[in-house]
């Protein structure tokens, strides 16, 4: 006997999401059926909604829930366990098995596909690689954003960047993901921590999460401002006498050509044979190619890093981030700035697209 689920479905042709009641099959193999408590609404799903597609889609990739049933090859969770769901496989260092992509059979006979998992639904079925067991008393609502917003933002700082105490950081775009990058930079002792956005309300929230300086990119040149805040040692110079300035790490959460170029030029230029230049970490999902100033990259010796999901290891990192929350070091309650029901999913995605969500929106079931 299957499990009834209400699922938000994005049609193949352009149009709004609709809610359909379907029956999920009983899990087999590595599948897990989860009753969801809440799910995050990530900005990257807007990109998926705007792209052409060959089939209907089911979206959402972070949630908190309870395991209802497991397939016969699932060993790390059991029915009744509280879990966090994520789009990032929990630890590919321990397996070579390719995780299964979740699909949904619709009443029309069509198959709706997901990018990996789907969580804009009150129940879901997914591969066990995307299921992380957590403590039974883990809050049901705000922890639903740990599987992407926290994992990606904080993971980018800890894993992809490897930021250390005393190093300088700038973050372009301080929504749900960027705020977590700032929080992680604070946790490792980075200084200064510079937030760049075009929304003063978001910048004010970034200060609460640990930003030491806030720059509105509409009001001033962020490259000039960042480099002024991070001068090199007196007398130090780069290639052919270039003054050294800029942050050790710039995190581009917006991932547009203009923000990438700003982040690139705001990182520290290298000093030949003394130290390399800074590092740009592309955290957001680019929708077009970036123009890279090749000669400038060469003579400044900067590094460019791309990361998916912060290059995080969910089995290790999600428990760590939940400890931060429990200890008061990560304010998930302040990160969740909007709550909706599943039937309001179209309104919620419009709010996100219009820039009306300061931190992260969640769906509560």
Cα-based torsion angle of the residue sequence 141, 143, 148, 150 in order, rounded to the nearest 10 degrees:
130
Q: How far is CA 74 from CA 29, 61, 317, 324, 326, in A?
A: 7, 20, 21, 28, 28
Q: Which residue has the higher pLDDT, 65 or 291?
A: 65
The total of structural domains in the chain comes to 2
Query: Which among 121, 92, 90, 87 is positioned nearest to 104, based on CA atoms?
Result: 121
Mean pLDDT score, 37-54: 91
Same domain, 170 and 265: yes
Tens digits of residue pLDDT in 144-197:
999 999 999 999 999 999 999 999 999 999 999 999 999 999 999 999 999 999
DSSP 131-175: EEE--TT--SSGGGGIIIIIHHHHHIIIIII---TT--EEEE--S
Distance from the first to the final alpha carbon of the chain: 22
The reply to whether 321 falls in a domain is: no
Residue identified by tokens 């309001």 is 344
Report pLDDT digits (tens) over 205-227: 999 999 999 999 999 999 999 99
DSSP state string for 198-255? S-HHHHHHHHHHT-SEEEETTTS-HHHHHHHHSB--TT-B-GGGPBPB-BSEEEESS-
CATH number of domain containing 97: 3.90.180.10
Q: Which tokens is 181 given?
A: 């990058």
pLDDT at 241 over 70: no
Phi, psi of 249 (to 5 degrees): -135, 130
Looking at the domain assignment, is residue 318 inside a domain? no
Give the pLDDT band of residue 37 (cuts 50, 70, 90): very high
Helix (H, G, I), strand (E, B) or coil at 314: helix
Last residue of a domain, which of 309, 339, 356? 309
* Same domain, residue pair 98 and 185: no
Residues 102 and 159 in one domain: no
pLDDT tens digits, 310-319:
999 999 999 9
Q: What is the CATH number of the domain that holds 238?
A: 3.40.50.720
Q: Do 89 and 157 reside in the same domain of the chain?
A: no
Q: Which tens digit of pLDDT belongs to each residue from 50-101?
A: 888 999 999 999 999 999 999 999 999 999 999 999 999 998 888 889 999 9
Residue 211 has a CB neighbour count (10 Å cut-off) of: 28
For residue 306, CA distances in Å to 113, 143, 171, 194, 251 come to 26, 26, 15, 20, 10
CA distances to 78, 145, 193 from 82, in Å? 9, 15, 35
Is residue 343 included in any domain, yes or no? yes
Inside any domain, residue 315:
no
In a domain, 43, yes or no: yes
Please check the confidence at residue 248 and state whether its pLDDT lies above 80.
yes
Euclidean distance between CA atoms 134 and 137, whole angstroms: 8
Residues 129 and 160 occupy one common structural domain: no
pLDDT in tens, 293-339: 888 888 899 999 999 999 999 999 999 999 999 999 999 999 999 99
In a domain, 314, yes or no: no
In whole angstroms, give the CA distance from residue 167 to residue 189: 8
Residues 261 and 287 in one domain: yes
The verdict on 82 and 118 lying in the same domain is yes
Q: Which domain holds residue 291?
A: 152-309
Residue 220 shares a structural domain with residue 351: no
What angle, rounded to 10 degrees, do the helices at 222-229 and 257-266 form?
20
| 39/141 Cα distance (integer angstroms) | 8
Q: What is the pLDDT of residue 191?
A: 98
Query: In this structure, are 110 and 196 located in the same domain?
Result: no
3-state secondary structure 72-117: CCCCCCCCCCEEEEECCCCCCCCCCCCCCCCEEECCCCCEEECCCC
Average pLDDT of 127-143? 97
Q: Do residues 158 and 296 both lie within one domain?
A: yes
Residues 176 and 134 in one domain: no
Q: Which residues contact 37 (CB under 8 A, 6 or more apart)?
A: 63, 64, 65, 66, 140, 141, 144, 364, 365
Name every residue whose Cβ is closer than 8 Å to that of residue 279 and which is 6 or more positions away in sequence: 161, 248, 249, 250, 267, 302, 303, 304, 305
Residues 14 and 128 grouped into a single domain: yes
| Residue 61 to residue 45: CA distance in whole angstroms | 9
DSSP summary character for residue 288:
S
């Amino acid at each position: 006997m299957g499990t009834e689920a209400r699922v938000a479905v994005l049609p193949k042709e352009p149009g709004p999401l609709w809610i359909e009641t379907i029956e999920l099959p009983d899990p087999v193999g590595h599948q897990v059926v989860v009753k969801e408590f809440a799910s995050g609404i990530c900005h990257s799903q807007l990109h998926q909604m705007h792209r052409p597609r060959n089939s209907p889609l089911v979206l959402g990739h972070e949630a908190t829930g309870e395991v209802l049933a497991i397939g016969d090859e699932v060993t790390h969770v059991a029915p009744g366990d509280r879990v966090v769901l994520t789009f990032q496989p929990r630890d590919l260092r321990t397996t070579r098995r390719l995780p299964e992509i979740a699909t949904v059979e619709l009443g029309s006979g069509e198959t709706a596909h997901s990018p990996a998992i789907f969580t804009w639904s009150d129940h879901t079925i997914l591969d066990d690689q995307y299921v992380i067991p957590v403590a039974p008393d883990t809050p049901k609502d705000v922890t639903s954003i740990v599987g992407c917003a926290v994992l990606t933002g904080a993971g980018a700082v800890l894993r992809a960047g490897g930021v250390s105490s005393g190093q300088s950081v700038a973050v372009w775009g301080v929504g749900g993901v960027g705020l977590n990058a700032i929080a992680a930079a604070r946790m490792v002792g980075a200084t200064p921590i510079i937030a760049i956005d075009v929304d003063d309300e978001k910048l004010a929230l970034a200060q609460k999460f640990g930003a030491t300086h806030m720059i509105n990119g509409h009001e001033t040149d962020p490259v000039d401002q960042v480099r002024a805040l991070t001068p090199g040692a007196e007398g130090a110079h780069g290639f052919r006498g270039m003054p050294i300035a800029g942050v050790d790490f710039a995190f581009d959460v917006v991932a547009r050509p203009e923000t990438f170029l700003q982040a690139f030029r705001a990182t520290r230029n290298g000093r030949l044979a003394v130290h390399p230049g800074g590092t740009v970490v592309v955290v957001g999902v680019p929708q077009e190619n970036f123009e890279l100033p090749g000669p400038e990259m060469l003579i400044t010796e900067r590094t460019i890093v791309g990361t998916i999901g912060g290059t995080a290891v969910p089995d290790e990192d999600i428990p760590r981030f939940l400890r931060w929350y429990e200890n008061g070091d990560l304010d998930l309650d302040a990160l969740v700035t909007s709550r909706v029901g599943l039937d309001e999913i179209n309104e919620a995605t419009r709010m996100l697209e219009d820039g009306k969500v300061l931190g992260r929106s969640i769906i509560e079931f």
